[in-house]
């Protein structure tokens, strides 16, 4: 069927009329489009001229889609930080403005993904879902929009939860030397957030690709990637990407905080971030300061960590907890970057290389670690149990140093050291095995009451395992009350004590047997006196000596001269001869020791020759009046050998 000519003409007329009206209404407009030119390129830096309207931190686009940030805005040229591979750029290439600042994609679709700071996927799971983008640099919440930190963030690490508590919304620095376990502490904290309604963001700055892959594999193995976002800038990336990585990760975490969620972010680590910024600043000819860092190195970290807070209920009640990591050199925590971060954050956890070498893991030094939030971010059950543990642990650390010198210690000091050794042994914890709160309270309560003091030190680890297994079977109502803000009641304490006692009973040594009753000492007759120091030697066989009360002849009372200031020693006992000895005769030429003349010798006694060994008898003499009568000797004195060449016997 043919179309009438009139209908066709009408359609053509209508079409041409529309074209004519469109041509007549069209007015050409000139849109300014700024295009600059690369003048020079260096490591991660490009100098661009011809962009008079570019703003600070505005994104510019290079050939091939490469982006850069306008960092130095001078009168005639612009210093641009490159955000990617710049090997194909040449001087003279065109550069154009984008009209927007650096931003990153945010949203629920990021959970379980590994991305770079620009939001590009790195896990081969396809494009990252989400149409909303937030700038990487955002102002921190106002003071009136914040609330105090009062809810604890359980790390699952016993020494931290007991001695250095961390609250939701707090900024707690982790610092220590290289290879001392800093990343392990942060990863264990992420693993412990499973089932606690806390989202996590792990930010890896200039880390090795193998180290990042290991962390991601561990998170996937433990099921933590379901609530975690990983933002990575590898060590071989451009320094510009390393610079914006923590800011991009903070914006992703802030998105969830604004939704009323509790978020944990880990910066691993800010030492590499500071070095990357120093490299960019020196290449941009900015004046260096201390340790060649630019003057605003403090500000780039403070404005980022200030975004971590606990929002008020009017703002949704969300929180952002930050765990920045810093690497020290030779245990120097007074260096430039560590002191900056210590002054910015709300406390620090110091990991000691000495404890690490001793096998105490995690190697947390309780003396140099502190939480400025303190007990406000700790449950009352912890405070009632672990209140004295930190003091006891610190005293042990000080006394242990003196004990290494072999100093003799008293019983009180020895008890403090033994108790501290068991505290440290209980705080040793395997990696990637966080401890539940009920198990921690059971171990801490057993420590505080001294149940572990009876366990041998080598069996403390076994005792902790037994106690954790028993505490896991704690009655549900008791475990529920531990999670509340109420103080630990006496009934709950008794239940936990009974569990701990039963768990540790097999490891405690049996009590020593009671010693047998000693025989009663013999009663001494009244009026008798025993020697003060040691009993008298047994008498040699022979005739029995005469009793002390019997009157002895005056000639047998041989005594030694009394020396002033020194008591006279009693003569050594000797066997008494069977026959009565002949009366003693005064030797020739001998002289009496006193002025009183000796009695005459009896007839019939021959004089003793000088060469013979006469018995050492002295002539009888009256005792001196010293206020106490001298005790008569029990037997005759032992004869002494004569001196060689002596002419007369010794007096």
Which residues are tagged catalytic? 372
Q: What is the CA radius of gyration of the chain?
A: 48
Distance CA 580, CA 165 (A): 96
- The angle formed by the CA atoms of residues 268, 274 and 276, to the nearest 5 degrees, is 95
The answer to whether the CB of 143 falls within 8 A of the CB of 325 is no
List the 347-351 sheet strands across, edge first.
114-115, 228-234, 198-207, 262-268, 319-327, 173-176, 347-351, 370-371
Q: 351 and 418 in contact (C-beta within 8 Å)?
A: no
| CA–CA distance, 487 with 475 (Å, rounded to integer) | 17
Query: What's the gap between Cα 221 and its chain centre?
Result: 28
- The continuous run of DSSP H or E covering 633 comes out as none
Residues in the chain: 651
First-to-last C-alpha distance (Å) of the chain: 173
Token pair for 625: 């009046």
Q: How open is the CA angle 153-154-159, to the nearest 5 degrees?
A: 120
d(CA 293, CA 508): 57
Question: CA geometry: angle at 546 spanning 542 and 551, to 5°?
Answer: 155
- Encode 585-626 in three state secondary structure: CCCCCCCCCCCCCCCCCCCCCCCCCCCCCCCCCCCCCCCCCC
Whose CA is closest to 471, among 453, 451, 434, 445?
445
Coil, helix or strand for 74?
Answer: coil
Beta partners for 288?
294
CA angle 7, 13, 19 (to 5 degrees): 140
Which whole-number Å values give the CA distances from 542 to 362, 547, 635, in the listed order?
79, 15, 11
Contact 507, 466 (CB under 8 A): yes
Q: Which residues contact 319 (CB under 8 A, 6 or more apart)?
A: 149, 151, 168, 169, 257, 262, 263, 309, 310, 311
Q: H helices then E strands: how many in the chain?
A: 16, 16
Cis-peptide into 190, omega within 30 deg: no
- Indicate the pairing of strand 35-42 with strand 45-49: antiparallel
Closest residue by Cα to residue 263 from 276, 273, 249, 277: 249
431 HSE (CA, 13 A, CB side): 16
Partnered with residue 230 across adjacent β-strands are 114, 202
Query: Which residues are within 8 A (CB) of 184 and not within 5 positions of it... i.e. 6 or more apart?
Result: 362, 431, 432
Tokens, residue 413: 């000091």
Based on the number of CB atoms within 10 Å of its own CB, is 101 exposed (0-12), middle (13-18) or buried (19 or more)?
A: middle
- Helix ranges (H only) for 472-587 are 476-482, 490-504
d(CA 8, CA 56): 60
């Amino acid at each position: 069927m043919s179309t009438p000519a009139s209908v066709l003409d009408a359609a053509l007329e209508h079409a041409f009329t529309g074209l004519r009206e469109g041509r007549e209404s069209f007015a050409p407009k000139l849109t300014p489009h700024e295009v600059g030119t690369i003048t020079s390129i260096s490591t991660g830096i490009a100098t661009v001229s011809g962009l008079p309207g570019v703003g600070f931190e505005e994104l510019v686009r290079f050939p091939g889609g490469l982006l850069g940030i306008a960092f130095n805005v001078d009168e005639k040229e612009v210093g641009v930080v490159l955000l990617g591979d710049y090997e194909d750029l040449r001087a003279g290439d065109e550069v154009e403005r984008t009209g927007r600042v650096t931003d990153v994609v945010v949203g629920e679709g990021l959970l379980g993904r590994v991305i770079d700071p620009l939001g590009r996927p790195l896990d081969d799971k396809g494009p990252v879902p989400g149409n909303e983008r937030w700038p990487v640099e955002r102002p921190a919440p106002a003071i009136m929009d914040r609330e105090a930190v009062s809810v604890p963030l359980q790390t699952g690490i016993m020494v931290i939860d007991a001695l250095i508590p961390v609250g939701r919304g707090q900024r707690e620095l982790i610092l220590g030397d290289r290879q001392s376990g800093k990343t392990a502490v942060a990863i264990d904290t992420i693993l412990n957030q499973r089932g606690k309604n806390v989202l996590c963001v792990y930010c890896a700055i200039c880390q090795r690709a193998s180290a990042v892959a290991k962390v991601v594999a561990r998170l996937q193995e433990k099921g933590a990637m379901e609530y975690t976002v990983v933002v990575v800038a590898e060590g071989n990336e451009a320094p510009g990407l390393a610079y914006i990585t923590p800011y991009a990760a903070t914006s992703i975490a802030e998105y969830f905080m604004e939704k009323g969620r509790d978020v944990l972010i880990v910066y691993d680590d800010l030492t590499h971030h500071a070095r990357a910024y120093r490299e960019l600043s020196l290449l941009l000819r900015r004046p260096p300061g201390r340790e060649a860092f630019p003057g605003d190195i403090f500000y780039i970290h403070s404005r980022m960590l200030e975004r971590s807070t606990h929002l008020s209920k009017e703002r949704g009640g969300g929180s952002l907890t930050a765990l920045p990591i810093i690497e020290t050199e030779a245990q120097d925590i007074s260096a430039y970057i560590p002191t900056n971060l210590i002054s910015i954050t709300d406390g620090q956890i110091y990991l000691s290389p000495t404890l690490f070498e001793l096998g105490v893991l995690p190697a947390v030094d309780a003396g140099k670690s502190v939480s400025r939030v303190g007990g406000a971010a700790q449950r009352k059950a912890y405070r009632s149990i672990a209140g004295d543990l930190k003091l006891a642990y610190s005293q042990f650390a000080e006394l242990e140093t003196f004990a290494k010198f072999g100093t003799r210690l008293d019983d009180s000091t020895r008890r403090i050291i033994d108790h501290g050794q068991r505290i440290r042994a209980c705080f040793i914890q395997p990696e990637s095995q966080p401890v539940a709160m009920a198990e921690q309270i059971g171990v801490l309560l057993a420590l505080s009451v001294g149940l572990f003091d009876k366990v041998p030190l080598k069996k403390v680890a076994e005792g902790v395992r037994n106690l954790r297994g028993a505490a896991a079977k704690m009655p549900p109502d008791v475990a529920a009350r531990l999670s509340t803000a109420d103080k630990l009641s006496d009934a709950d304490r008794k239940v936990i004590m009974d569990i701990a006692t039963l768990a540790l009973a097999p490891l405690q040594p049996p009590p020593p047997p009671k010693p047998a009753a000693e025989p009663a000492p013999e009663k001494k007759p009244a009026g008798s006196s025993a020697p003060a120091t040691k009993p008298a030697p047994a008498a040699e066989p022979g005739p029995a000596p005469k009793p002390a009360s019997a009157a002895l002849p005056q000639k047998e009372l041989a005594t030694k001269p009394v020396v002033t200031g020194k008591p006279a020693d009693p003569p050594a006992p000797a066997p008494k001869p069977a026959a009565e000895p002949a009366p003693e005769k005064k030797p020739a030429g001998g002289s009496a020791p006193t002025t009183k003349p000796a009695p005459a010798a009896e007839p019939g006694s021959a004089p003793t020759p000088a060469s013979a060994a006469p018995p050492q008898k002295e002539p009888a003499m009256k005792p001196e009046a010293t206020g106490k009568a001298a005790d008569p000797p029990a037997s005759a004195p032992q004869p002494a050998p004569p001196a060689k060449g002596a002419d007369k016997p010794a007096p």
